[in-house]
Structure 1
Amino acid sequence: MNTQQIQKNIVNGVDVSKLTQTIDDLTQKPDLAQFHFCARNSWINGGQNRTTVNAFYGAGKTHVRSKPFVFTKDEPPVLLGTDQGANPVEYALTALAGCVTTTLVYYASAMNVKINKVETVLEGDIDMRGLLNIDENVKAGYKSIQVQFKIDSDASQETLQKLIEIARKHSPVANTITNATPINLSLA
């Protein structure tokens, strides 16, 4: 019996062997690449909402998390809230931060680029006249979002810049925000 352990190829905390196998599986069976996510929201009071995420469909089956994740959203007092949580546009920044960072790290791992640390600062400006319909020419969302990465790695600046571009191009949240994604609102 061989007692020698098979070493996993772990880069940046990512099992690259599993990542490669996943890519191969999805290439061979594209239907497994179809995922469906769901969020359930309840209004609490004023600007406060609570969203729960749990089950999702992907890789050909439904997955239920061991514990649902619950997010409380509210507005700061200057925006008539009680400050019980970050507001929805701040959650949009957090979703973008998480997604571009994860995308960057996964691609770095696949390229065998060691990342020691990633810090990201996201900022965006919103003119409240759009939300409040004071001026129809003012957009009701972010005018733009700036994302600044600070990456500790032995990789060249050129490689890190390439990873940032890959993250921008392949992050699902960045694509959802950047490209016109249809949103269909209806009564249940």
Structure 2
Amino acid sequence: MTSTESPAVDNGVNVGALLDARAALSDAPAGAQFQWRAETEWLKGTHSRGTVKTFHGLGGEQEHISTFTFDADHPEHFAAEDQGATPVEIVLVGLGACLTGGVASVAQLRNIQLRSVKATITGEHDILGILGADPEVPNRFKSIKVHFDIDADATPDEIAAVVAQSQKRSAVYDSLTNPVAVAVDVN
């Protein structure tokens, strides 16, 4: 495509830049080593505020245009003040956002115009484990289901292939479905 041609579809994703980044980082893999960061500060009760501002990648320190904040709490049903989504709900949002961003990117690459994409993410969770009421119940989700409603200029098979490719490349999906080493320490 020359610079005077307009793309056949516009899902708001600069696929050319993504493909250029892939090529550049394939040639210089040290730049592809990223460290994502978040800080969480306790406010009161079970209410905390997470912030995201900086990360390391492309061979150096990077900074987002803005600081992003996320309030987390528990519902009033658990003697909390419900000042934010629960941490497990934030995990579900992260999964949905990662997959949805992938759908937009893959659709753009495959020349599929999206009209709407909605992901509904549900997580089945027995909270007796996290409450300490039953030591045999795991603290994690029992299952997570992601359902997409996608309106696009594509066949159902093409849409399914877009979603499958998004799932294949999703960092959050991969982190949730494969063991990840997590170290916790205290100063």
Q: Given the alignment of the two structures, is residue 88 of structure 1 paired with residue 87 of structure 2, yes or no?
A: yes
Q: How many residues align?
A: 185
Instruction: Please state whether the residue corresponding to 1:91 is helix, strand or coil.
Output: helix
1:8/1:60 Cα in 2 relative to 1: closer, same or farther (>3 Å)? farther
Aligned-pair distance for 1:158?
0.9
Unpaired runs of 5+ residues, structure 2, are: none
Letter in 1 for 2:93: T
**What is the distance in 2 between the residues matched to 1:149 and 1:90?**
17
Q: Is the 8 A contact 1:8 1:15 kept in 2?
A: no
Partner of 2:110: 111
Question: Within 5 Å, which residues of 2 pair with 1:141-160?
Answer: 141-160=140-159
| 1:123 alignment partner in structure 2 | 122
Give unmatched runs, 5+ long, in structure 1: none
**One-letter identity of the residue aligned with 1:6:** T
The within-5 A match list for 1:38-77 is 38-77=37-76
Instruction: Give a deviation string over 1:70-125, Cα, whole Å, max 9, x none.
Output: 11111110122101111101101111110010112111212222211101111111
Secondary structure of the structure 2 residue equivalent to 1:92: helix
Query: Which stretch of structure 1 is more off in the superposition, 178-187 or 58-67?
Result: 58-67
| 2:72 partner letter | K
- How many Å separate the matches in 2 of 1:32 and 1:111? 27
Q: Quick one: distance in 2 between partners of 1:176 and 1:5?
A: 38
Match of 1:6? Answer: 4
Q: Tell me, yes or no, if the aligned pair for 1:47 and 1:80 is still in contact at 8 Å.
A: no
CA contact (8 A) 1:36 1:56 kept: yes
Offset of 1:159 from its aligned partner? 1.1
1:19 maps to which residue?
18
SS in 1 for 2:184: coil
Q: Which residue is 2:135 aligned to?
A: 136
- Cα RMSD for the two superposed structures: 1.7
Match of 1:33 in 2: 32
Alpha-carbon distance in structure 2 between the residues aligned to 1:65 and 1:157: 36
Q: Structure 1 length normalisation: TM-score?
A: 0.92
Structure 1 Cα separation of the partners of residues 174 and 124 of structure 2? 19
Distance across 1 between alignment mates of 2:163 and 2:140: 24
Deviation at 1:31, TM superposition (A): 1.5
How far 1:66 moved relative to its partner?
Answer: 2.8
Which moved further from structure 2: 95-104 or 5-14? Answer: 5-14
Q: TM-score, normalised by structure 2?
A: 0.92
Match of 2:78 in 1: 79
Please state whether the residue corresponding to 1:128 is helix, strand or coil: coil
Q: Output the amino acid matched with 1:182.
A: A
1:28-73, Cα deviation, whole Å (9 max, x unpaired): 1111211111111111111101111101111122111232111111
